Structure 1
């Protein structure tokens, strides 16, 4: 049975924690008491997140990618229909020409962050703050803040980032129509479709 998102956070600010290298420079203790959706292994930076979301089923089945995820105490949600773990809620995925207004589905294609944004809106978010949404490598060539080794080839990174940027551009107008403000808490992010602010200015 597929899951439908309850409107449990009406009017709230929701932080979507992705895993770009910029996360390592943030004081995440400022998230205490706030609503947080962690994308894949970014939950390792903030285990108190309300929700852990992933779209790539390989992330769940490859345990080296999700060390100790069994210890995550919050809600776990995926669009990967092959996941049969009873702890994981499954929700329908649709193509991201725009964000979905239906609580039983989320839009995404090339990045789980899009799905996490859509989840936040279904929960009732009025404002979404993006953390670690960099769409580029860190200064030392690192792609992820958590430092876990991704077992798939790196050759497609430039195209992967380009695809993510295109996806964000596609969904941005629909968030505006839904009356949801989105800000990116990384002034140096390659994602420029939303205002880029310092983390402290987003609180």
Structure 2
């Protein structure tokens, strides 16, 4: 039997292609995905229920290393720091997906389990129940912005007039280049956030 010209379709191939498309376009449609896979849209429905399931599969692919139970066995502040680093690194691999996943409801049970661990860690540390989701949301907003910053240009403030804004010019001169710039900003912000959370417990 001759081999098919197009590799057989499976869920992993669908997810990998969807991630690539979202990286390129920042969004995902069934016709675009079918075109990239060189199949008809109806062929996709033999493997997935629709766009929502594909989004869930992409989320699962990205977060499989984020919510490992061992990280939540640490003290709350160390757990949040570990989680933040894993979360940022996962999304930095696919920055185009940040907007898509940040606005898609978290309906998957594996995400519920991840947040259950985060909530339990913060509540056991003494944070009030009414504050816990706000603390998690604030941290996630910072993480997602930091993931985008990893792929931002080194120079986001350009054509500075040193005579008119000398302090800004000196501050920009002091910023390292490349990955070190984004890493330093992330560590500063994360330390400030966790320090602020610690003060709330005070």
Which of the two has higher C-alpha Rg? 2
TM-score bracket relative to the smaller structure: under 0.3
Task: Identify which of structures 1 and 2 has the higher relative contact order when contacts are C-alpha pairs closer than 8 Å and 6+ apart.
Answer: 1
**Bigger strand share:** 1
**Bigger helix share:** 2
State the TM-score, normalizing by the size of structure 2. 0.26
